[in-house]
Each structure stands twice: as C-alpha cells, then as structure tokens.
Amino acid sequence: MKEILPLFVFIDACGWEIIKDRPFAKALAPNRKRLTSVFGYSSACVPSILSGAWPVEHRNWCYFVYDPANSPFKSLRPLRWLPQRLTSRRIFRRWLSKFIKVQLNFRGYFDLYNIPFKYISLYDFTEKRNPLQPGGMNRGPNIFDHLEHRAIPYHVSSPNRSEKDNLDALANDIRNERIDFAFLYWPGLDGLMHSVGNQSAEIAAKLNLYERWLEQLLSVTGQHYAETRLHIFSDHGMANCDQLLDLKGKIDALPLIMAEDYAVVYDSTMARFWFFNDYARQQVTQCLNHVQEGRIVPDSELADLGALFADRYFGELIFLVNEGVLIVPSHMGERPIRGMHGYQPTEKQSHAVLCTNDTRIPDQISAIPDIYRLMIRDAEDAAARNSLANGSKPHATMSDQFHTQPGRYNPAVRA
C-alpha cells in the first residue's frame, strides 16, 4: 500500500458550460472551478496544460503554417492531379494521413484535414512530436520531462489506444503500485460534441460512462493507495455552430492570386494570412473589415493572450470569427460540423473546468496552464510521501510553485 496517488484526468472539451448544471462527478470531485482557456485549438491548449507555458513560449499553436522551404509534403504534389471527388473524401484523407505520419515519422496527432494538394507543399505541420511524451514540446519542457528528470514513476495515456484501453492500462499500473503520478486523457467527448453539438442527450450518456469508469478506477486506487488526489479538468468547452461563413469565397473573389500575392490557412474559426505584397495586404484587410461574423485580432490582444509571435510564424494577420460561427469550407473541413471551439477565450462556451477532491483550489489557479503547477506540486508531494513511507530518502521539494500572476499571460514573470 502506497501513501498517495495524484490522479489527473483530462476530459477534452468538457467545458464549464457543459457541466456547470450537471451533477457530473460531484460525489468524486466536489470542489469545482471555472478556468480560462488558451486561445487556439487543442493543438495549443494541451501543450499549455502540459507545460504551464503559453503558445508564444512553447510555440505549439495552430497545426499548419506557410513555410514552403521546410515543407515535408513536397512529395504529395503529384496528388493534385487526382480527381477532387476522391481527394476531398474524409476516408481517403484519413488513410493518407496515417500513411504520411509513418513516412514522416510524426510522433503526435496528424491529419491532413482538407488542405488542397495543389498547395500542400507550401505548408509545414508544426506538431511533429507527441506532447504527451517527454521531449514533446516545440520549445521548453513539459510535465513528463520534469517527472523523468526527477525520476518520479508515472503513467500517461497513449493517443493510439482507446479510452477504455487507456483506463485499463492505468488500472494495471495502479494495481502494481508502480507509479507516483497518473495522467489519463479522454478525447471522446470532444469528438462527440463536434458532431452532435453541446445540447445533445448523448452528452449525458457519455458523462455517465466516464463517471462509472472513474468510480471503478477510484475503487482500484483505494485498495493500493491510502489517498487519491483526484483532478478532473478540460482544455476548453464547445460552442454550437449556428452560422456558416464562406470566407474562402470572399477572399477568392479578390483580384489576387493565392501563393503569388498571399498565402492563407483557413482553420475552423480563424483565417491566418501571409502577404507577399502591400496590395494583397490592403485588399485582404479591407475585405475582412467588412465581414460582420468576425474581426482581425489586434496585436495588443494577441499579446495579452500569449499568442503574438514576433516572427509571425503562424501568420501575419489573424482573423477570428465570433462564437457560433464556423468557417466552411475551410482547410479543416469541407462540410459543416455541429460544434466547434477555438474562439476568443472570454466567449461563454470557451471556459474550461477543474474539479477536485482536494479541499481547496488555490486562488492562483485560474487558467488552464496553471494545471501544470498543480501537477508539479502533487507529483513532488507524492514522490516525497511515498518514498518516506517506503523508508527511502525523500525527494527534495520545490518551493516556487505559485509565483506567477494567475489567469493570463505575463511575459514579465514567464519569460
């Protein structure tokens, strides 16, 4: 029997608005708090949770960037001759994405989405490593680097396994009392709500299943650890997409040539532009200023959100739509989906959540990168207590866990 297990359960897209009026996990983790999310998609939020850093610091933000010199996709250009009715099909693209991922040795999540083969060799993909592993960040360390460095034994989910298989793998490590820290990742609710929206009855069913799994897991933990410090949390919420915006149609109608005058990535809620002449910059800016469904995000706001990149690596101009608007068609999808996230983090459905069985959540914990500090605190605590009970020399403790200003990017203390 070990003293304590810190158990961090990450439920993707389980936003504050999704669970605030539901009894989900209240008996297991009664202390709840709304957290501010990070501007971007899971490609930005997950690395921020795992590293305590903001996008400008870890440089994991949006998946695709204009970078022809470094594009790994040059070999795909001949595919532009294939008929579009084949190349725009999700099943074909999923199969091809898997093939490319192996060929290019990408370690994280990879999907070609809806990037046209005509332009694919203009782009680079920015998540070549797996953020759920040590060395997984584009810049700086994550929690797993820390655990390895401190020789604290841990368990982390693998994105290649199903949710249930990841649950079973963790239960095994708990039964063996092998670990002093656990990180369980469930992406299924996110996928579900992308297709059914945030009001469907299927959400309650999914949350009930998660609750049953958590009860089973805690009952196993209770037989092997005297205490379980449970944290259930998310990266963002989910908004219903009630309004569709054909932004590409508007930009294509301008007297400009893609790849000669400008380049663009159409994400689902953002369009990111690179300009090759002033005329293109002026034309696109003027056009975007007339689109009521969104706005150009000023640099001052990007800086506040920790997403202003000095080298403009992710785009020189960022256009963002209002909550509930979906850019379609986009480079993420040809057809509409019911739910999306990646809006301004202050929008209602953007907020994430933290639920714990700890007696209190420190006031300093207010945004999702702060979860990293809880993980460090609890991992250190568990390593010390478990090794002390075991009669071995305790790990040295960390002292400066809560020195930064909570809730927002603060370059003065985070640089």
**Listed ranges 184-192, 268-276, 348-356, 389-397: which one lies at the site for Zn ion (CB under 5 A):** 184-192
The dihedral of CA 251, 257, 259, 261: what is its sign?
A: negative
Q: Output 40 or 315, the one with its CB closest to Zn ion.
A: 40
Closest separation in Å from C-beta 347 to Zn ion? 15
Residues 328/204, Cβ–Cβ less than 8 Å: no
**Listed ranges 86-94, 124-132, 185-193, 261-269: which one lies at the site for Zn ion (CB under 5 A):** 185-193
Strand partners, 269: none
Q: Tokens 């508007």 label which residue?
A: 250
Q: How many CB atoms lie within 10 A of CB 383?
A: 24
d(Cα 393, Cα 377) in Å, to the nearest integer?
A: 18
**Listed ranges 182-190, 245-253, 329-337, 370-378: which one lies at the site for Zn ion (CB under 5 A):** 182-190
Q: Output 190 or 381, the one with its CB closest to Zn ion.
A: 190
Strand partners, 125: 64
Q: How far is CA 160 from CA 107, 187, 192, in A?
A: 11, 11, 18
Closest separation in Å from C-beta 386 to Zn ion? 35
Q: Output 263 or 371, the one with its CB closest to Zn ion.
A: 371
Q: Output 190 or 370, the one with its CB closest to Zn ion.
A: 190
Task: Report which secondary-structure segment, H or E, holds 90.
Answer: helix 90-103
Q: Output 127 or 190, the one with its CB closest to Zn ion.
A: 190
Residue 173 φ/ψ region, left for φ over 0, alpha for ψ in the -120 to 50 degree band, beta for the rest = alpha
Q: Output 180 or 190, the one with its CB closest to Zn ion.
A: 190
Contact flag: residue 190 with Zn ion (CB under 5 A): yes
The tokens describing 251, both together, are 């930009």
Closest separation in Å from C-beta 190 to Zn ion? 4
**Listed ranges 25-33, 61-69, 71-79, 187-195: which one lies at the site for Zn ion (CB under 5 A):** 187-195
| Nearest to 215, CA basis, from 20, 360, 29, 13 | 29
d(Cα 337, Cα 78) in Å, to the nearest integer?
A: 30
Q: How many residues bind Zn ion (CB under 5 A)?
A: 1
Closest separation in Å from C-beta 214 to Zn ion? 21
Residues 5/324, Cβ–Cβ less than 8 Å: no
Residue least distant from Zn ion (Cβ) = 190
Q: Output 163 or 190, the one with its CB closest to Zn ion.
A: 190
Closest separation in Å from C-beta 223 to Zn ion? 35
| Nearest to 382, CA basis, from 233, 156, 175, 228 | 228
Contact flag: residue 235 with Zn ion (CB under 5 A): no
Per-residue contact flags (x/-) with Zn ion for residues 262 to 301, judged by CB under 5 A: ----------------------------------------
Contact residues toward Zn ion (CB under 5 A) are 190
